[in-house]
Amino acid sequence: MSSPFALGEALAGREQVALLRRRTATDGRDGARLVVDGRDYLNFSGNDYLGLAHHPAIKAAFKEGIDRHGAGAGASPLVTGYSRAHQQLEETLADWLGLEAVLLFNCGFSANQAVLKALLGKEHLLWQDRLNHASLQEMGSQLPCTMKRFGHNDMAQLAAQLEPGRGLIVSEGVFSMDGDQGPWRELGQLAARSGNWLMIDDAHGLGVLGAEGRGTLAAQGVDPARVHIQMGTFGKALGVAGAFVGGSRELVEYLVNFARPYVYSTHMPAAQACAVSKSIELVRAADPARAHLGQIVARFRQGARQLGWRLGESDTPIQPLLVGESEAALGLSARLREQGLWVSAIRPPTVPQGKARLRITLCASHQAQDIDRLLEALGEAGSHD
């Protein structure tokens, strides 16, 4: 019997152009290391930027939370799934980041889409950086509002597009595939002058940048009150899982009533909220780890440039090593893997055509000798101009 969906053809088409994706099951991981099929690898493809995912205090908080609250929330937050642990985490986040109120979500993808769908109608405009995350781009293209995309960090183009008081400007704190930062002082000025709202997706800046890990806005000296909506995640530098949206109390109350992914989803487990609260405590005290992270980022960049490799303009733990074609990126990734280094190739459609890369991510668990081992392997692989 024939299928109404050409699944096989679509998969074969991707395989022909080296774009087919496959998963790899890992057997264990601990900070900067990974075990696959019984072999140990140095891991340069994670987002556990501070090496907290295996921190004993966070694991203990998770276990204590399970003992007290059980393994799951048992309901959506507006029924019985909202516990004291969730409330305490929201209050902790608001205090840490200088926000009036915070709302928890199961993941960043859901949080981003919930905000855009709840706020934007056909009478609104949405302005997005061309390199925003897929969750933002996808939802923007599906809404009845008019979406306009501006060139990456191109404030002149954004200024020319803006119309007074018509909607929402969205950009990222740290861009997930390029590692560079959005210009948040300029974005704040444009939003204020035009009377439009401003939203930051700081998934990759939270915990990594700024005093006490408060994120991109803190690192750039931007008052959080100038950014109407903040989104951040707990599965990267904080080492757990989940996400939040923060802003005014009125915004949070509105989302509680109109954000369908929040209203109709089972809440994150209370034990998870306990673990995140402990993680925030550790992140706030992790300035030495952030300083170490900055040192190994500088060490890698200097060494890679001396070897002739092209890097993106990033001073964050996300270091894109630009290769160009998908086949070349896959080949380089495979050669590094043979030497015990796990570095994933990133290909279209995640990045534009002709801009395949190795997305090298560094974490505070990496030591200088780990960086030197990676550089030695890249030197043996040969530069790509």
Q: pTM of the prediction?
A: 0.95
Segment 99-105 shows an average pLDDT of: 98
- Tell me the residue length of the chain: 385
Which candidate in 86, 236, 278, 355 is catalytic?
236
| Residue-level pLDDT at 62 | 98
Known catalytic residue at 172: yes
What pLDDT, in 10s, does the model give residues 44-81? Answer: 999 999 999 999 999 999 999 999 999 999 999 999 99
For residue 15, give Cα distances in angstroms to 91, 128, 215, 314, 352.
48, 31, 38, 31, 17
21-30, 217-226, 233-242, 251-260, range with the lowest pLDDT: 21-30
Distance between CA atoms of 37 and 25, rounded to whole angstroms?
A: 8
18-22, 142-146, 279-283, range with the lowest pLDDT: 18-22
pLDDT score of 87 more than 70? yes
What pLDDT, in 10s, does the model give residues 191-225? Answer: 999 999 999 999 999 999 999 999 999 999 999 99
* Domains assigned to the chain: 25-50+286-381 (3.90.1150.10), 56-284 (3.40.640.10)
The pair phi, psi for residue 230, each rounded to 5°, is -115, 135
What pLDDT, in 10s, does the model give residues 165-176? Answer: 999 999 999 999
| Residue-level pLDDT at 31 | 74
Known catalytic residue at 253: no
| Residue-level pLDDT at 385 | 45
| Residue with tokens 């909506």, as numbered in its chain | 229
Which candidate in 48, 172, 178, 202 is catalytic?
172
Known catalytic residue at 201: yes
| Residue-level pLDDT at 1 | 66
Which candidate in 124, 204, 292, 355 is catalytic?
204
Segment 2-13 shows an average pLDDT of: 91
Which residue did the predictor score with more confidence, 270 or 2? Answer: 270
Cβ(51)–Cβ(365) below 8 Å: yes
What pLDDT, in 10s, does the model give residues 339-375? Answer: 999 999 999 988 989 999 999 999 999 999 999 999 9
Amino acid at 111: A
Calculate what percentage of the chain has a pLDDT beyond 70: 99
| Residue-level pLDDT at 314 | 97
Residues 6+ apart with CB under 8 A from 295: none
Known catalytic residue at 355: no
Which candidate in 132, 176, 279, 314 is catalytic?
176
pLDDT score of 93 more than 80? yes
Segment 269-289 shows an average pLDDT of: 98
Known catalytic residue at 287: no
Known catalytic residue at 47: yes
pLDDT score of 239 more than 50? yes
| Residue-level pLDDT at 383 | 54
Segment 36-40 shows an average pLDDT of: 94
What pLDDT, in 10s, does the model give residues 299-321? Answer: 999 999 999 999 999 999 999 99
Give the residue among 216, 107, 235 at the shortest CA–CA distance from 171.
Answer: 216
| Residue-level pLDDT at 3 | 85
Which candidate in 90, 180, 201, 202 is catalytic?
201
- pLDDT confidence band for 18 (50 / 70 / 90): confident
Q: Per-residue DSSP letters for 193-258?
A: HHT-EEEEE-TTTTTTSSGGG--HHHHTT--GGGSSEEEEESSSTTSS--EEEEE-HHHHHHHHHH
